[in-house]
Structure 1
Amino acid sequence: MGQAESHRRAGTAPQNSHGVRSRGGLALLPEELLVLILSWVPGRILATRGRLVCRHWRDLIDSPLPWKLQAERDPSKLEGLRSALEAARRCPRLEWARVGALQPFARNLIKNPRGEDQFLHWQVGHGDGWCLGDNTCWMLQLVDLVKEGLWEDLLDTCQPDIFISEWWGTHENCGCTYNLYITLLAGDKNSVIARFVTEADSAEEWDIPFQQASHVFREYGPGVRYLRFQHIGSRPGEQRTEAHLTNSTVLVKLSG
């Protein structure tokens, strides 16, 4: 009782068991105004801390209301919002706080897609049995679709479209051969559920413009949990592979 009285005299709200201040005077606000205020909180903080304040805040954050307001202020989030709304229509168990914080829709799930941080997030190697020529190099990234914000019911039942894209071109000093290997994997990371492989694209000319390799996975079946994105290049002879790769992309979308 003395502690509660000291909080009132100090003009501060008591803390809950998680050390988060309770909503205090915000309880007096109309719900529309409270939702507007919450929508200005960064998504991850809203989902991980805001939900702990009280049941009322949790219920609001678990609804689409604050996330719609955030997307309406940021045009880059509108396409993701449309996919999320369609997912909510098809899969009633959508967790808005999770989707709002992680934004799995219409966001590039490949990390370091342009190599601006050198090989960060990529596995790099040579040969490995996929050899296309005398001198082969490969780069690989494994995408955990559930960790990125999707969920099992959605992947198994709705099977959203998965868009794959990459741009490649030759180095100024030589040509090359380029292939893109994409596999959708089950939870064991080994069982292949669907795959896409480009035909070997060869460019003997020097310094040719970038060209695109792309594919869309649709109706790929249940069980997908991972996506393996791998590109392989080779340069016959003893010279090292010379290719420019950029803007590796994996996008997940749902349309009505």
Structure 2
Amino acid sequence: MNSSVTRAQPVGVALPEPEPEEALGLSRLPPELLLMLLSHVPPRTLIRQCRRVCRRWRALVDCQALWLIILARDHPALWPIAQSRLPSARNDANPCILGRFCERRPIGRNLIQNPKGEEGFLKWTVLTSEDGWAEEDEDLKLIPRGCMLTSFQWYHKKQVVDLEEEGLWPELLDSGKLEICISDWRNDQQGTDCLYQLCVQLLDAEKAILDHFSPVPFPILKWINSVSSQVSHVFSNLKKGVRFVSFEQWVWNLELGNEQHGLSLTNSSVIVRLLPS
């Protein structure tokens, strides 16, 4: 008779779970490997979430090494220029300046906010000459989408693009390898005779004018069946020190007493591009 005794598991009693093996946490990875893993995380997630995980991750996200990996991989056309004109080290630059560039991707993107006026005049400053160029305080959201105010006075619609805030660093802006392309579409079908003018200025850090584009004022007459037209310009020889782009639209109503709101200005754009090689 077999002397061995087999112990049966009592009915209804679950077998104990095996002890799990301790997983290799990301915090235990060597810095070089963790850096490579983080380089595959979207830049927005790196800046807004990964920096908050712990001090070690924050230091990696804030260092230039991580963003150099991303820059070389995701911006191959810019890399030959960028690697010789990297931003200077700044103690207050957290996260890294290159991180803001990789997150915002300003090259080739329209830097004008609310360009079609789909949100009224949000992001735009509207001034009127009636009160000595005071900022318009009426409810601009009631004005039809994409339209400028018109009355027997000048109206001035303006937006200033901060190029550094958009992710472009000074050494890159001063490299001589970039151009700034501006354009504006105006809809000439409206209910009053107007005079329209576009004025674009390139400004330095102190808002002094370094360059400008201001074509001759264009008359828009209500009795002419005209179509939308585009005005554009390329600043291809940027002076050193350009840090802002001031984009301004001016309208003068030529009909005394006519206060219609009818001049539609849509698809305004300010685009920074690499100079053709």
TM class, shorter-length: 0.7 to 0.9
Whether the 8 Å contact between 2:110 and 2:271 is mirrored in structure 1 is: yes
Q: CA RMSD in A?
A: 3.4
Distance 1:23 1:152 in 2: 35
Map of 2:268 onto structure 1: 248
Whether the 8 Å contact between 1:125 and 1:137 is mirrored in structure 2 is: yes
In the superposition, the TM-score normalised over structure 2's length comes to: 0.67
**Max Rg structure:** 2
* Cα distance, 1:140–1:56 mapped onto 2, change above 3 Å: closer
Aligned residues: 222
Distance 1:124 1:201 in 2: 20
Whether the 8 Å contact between 2:187 and 2:263 is mirrored in structure 1 is: yes
Distance 1:43 1:203 in 2: 45
Any gaps of 5 or more consecutive residues in structure 2? 1-19, 89-96, 134-150
Whether the 8 Å contact between 1:61 and 1:96 is mirrored in structure 2 is: no
* Cα distance, 1:117–1:68 mapped onto 2, change above 3 Å: farther
1:213-232 paired onto structure 2 within 5 Å? 213-232=231-250
Distance 2:204 2:26 in 1: 43
- Larger displacement relative to structure 2 (116-125 or 207-216): 207-216
Distance 2:263 2:239 in 1: 34
- Write the letter of the residue equivalent to 1:172: Q
* Cα distance, 1:142–1:59 mapped onto 2, change above 3 Å: closer
Map of 1:193 onto structure 2: 210
Whether the 8 Å contact between 2:194 and 2:220 is mirrored in structure 1 is: yes
Distance 1:247 1:134 in 2: 25
In the superposition, the TM-score normalised over structure 1's length comes to: 0.72
Q: CA deviation at 1:156?
A: 2.3
* Cα distance, 1:224–1:37 mapped onto 2, change above 3 Å: closer
Whether the 8 Å contact between 2:179 and 2:238 is mirrored in structure 1 is: no
Any gaps of 5 or more consecutive residues in structure 1? 1-8, 14-21, 72-80
- Larger displacement relative to structure 2 (167-176 or 90-99): 90-99
Whether the 8 Å contact between 2:82 and 2:172 is mirrored in structure 1 is: no
Map of 2:45 onto structure 1: 45
Structure with the largest fraction of helix: 1
- Larger displacement relative to structure 2 (82-91 or 180-189): 82-91
Q: What does the per-residue CA deviation read over 1:36-69, in whole Å, with 9 as the maximum and x for residues that have no partner?
A: 7742x332222455465177775662223x4566
- Write the letter of the residue equivalent to 1:46: L
